[in-house]
A and B are shown apart, each in its own frame.
Chain A
Amino acid sequence: GDSVTQTEGQVTVSESKSLIINCTYSATSIGYPNLFWYVRYPGEGLQLLLKVITAGQKGSSRGFEATYNKEATSFHLQKASVQESDSAVYYCALNTNTGKLTFGDGTVLTVKP
């Protein structure tokens, strides 16, 4: 079946430093799935951060970027300069032509002031 792997369960970064959260995927049911990053801020529900549906394209939102790399089957999330308000849980996900989302385990980001 489909799977999403986030290698870091927890990441701690100092404010204004750069960030990368790794995500790789395997989509057995379809060649090129749609890829997403969702975020859950403390006390809030899960919300979409960004999405990319075309291989080779980059998505961006709130200073975060992720590029759909079909050769490496990766969709890493990056930000050049994090803020304390970015502290949250980040989930990488893919969906296929059935609409079903497959999530990674999530990465808890803590930004230290």
Chain B
Amino acid sequence: GPKVLQIPSHQIIDMGQMVTLNCDPVSNHLYFYWYKQILGQQMEFLVNFYNGKVMEKSKLFKDQFSVERPDGSYFTLKIQPTALEDSAVYFCASSFLLNQAPLFGEGTRLSVL
């Protein structure tokens, strides 16, 4: 079946550096999401994105975060600069309709040293 792909599965960077997490959503999906899960904690909503714009973002979506999907390619989450508390697994998801259960990727584990 259709899949959401996330590249890479694990990324290690030094605090203060920029990182871009890539997501290849299902091709005909229109709504895109990022979620964050710190080890041992709840999976939490960061942001959703439709038609080239952020629809809603949570308080976890700090000013250092940005999302884009240029020309229908990867849906990316950029963090610049990174902080130690950004260490977590980041999950991308996509859906065709707004209230449809989104399809999730397997996550990218980000380790900020």
Give me the interface of A with B, judged by CB distance under 8 Å. Answer: 34, 36, 38, 44-48, 51, 53, 91, 95, 97-106
Question: Contacts of B107 on A, CB cut-off 8 Å?
Answer: 45
| CB closest residue in chain B, given A102 | B45
Contact B102 A97 (CB under 8 A): no
Does any Cβ of A come within 8 Å of B84's Cβ? Answer: no
Contact B42 A104 (CB under 8 A): yes
Say what secondary structure dominates the interface of chain A. strand
A61 to chain B, nearest CB (A): 12
How many of chain B's residues touch chain A, expressed as a range? 20 to 34
Question: 20 new A-B pairs (CB below 8 Å) besides A34-B101, A98-B98?
Answer: A45-B104, A45-B105, A46-B104, A48-B103, A51-B101, A53-B99, A97-B98, A99-B33, A99-B48, A99-B55, A99-B98, A99-B102, A100-B45, A100-B56, A101-B33, A102-B45, A103-B43, A103-B44, A104-B42, A105-B41
Mark out the residues of chain B between 39 and 73 whose CB falls within 8 Å of any chain A CB in the assembled complex.
Answer: 41-45, 48, 55-56, 58
Does any Cβ of A come within 8 Å of B75's Cβ? Answer: no
A53 to B101, CA, bound (A): 10
Question: Contacts of B90 on A, CB cut-off 8 Å?
Answer: none
Contact A44 B106 (CB under 8 A): yes
| CB closest residue in chain B, given A91 | B43
Question: Contacts of A101 on B, CB cut-off 8 Å?
Answer: 33, 35, 45, 93, 102
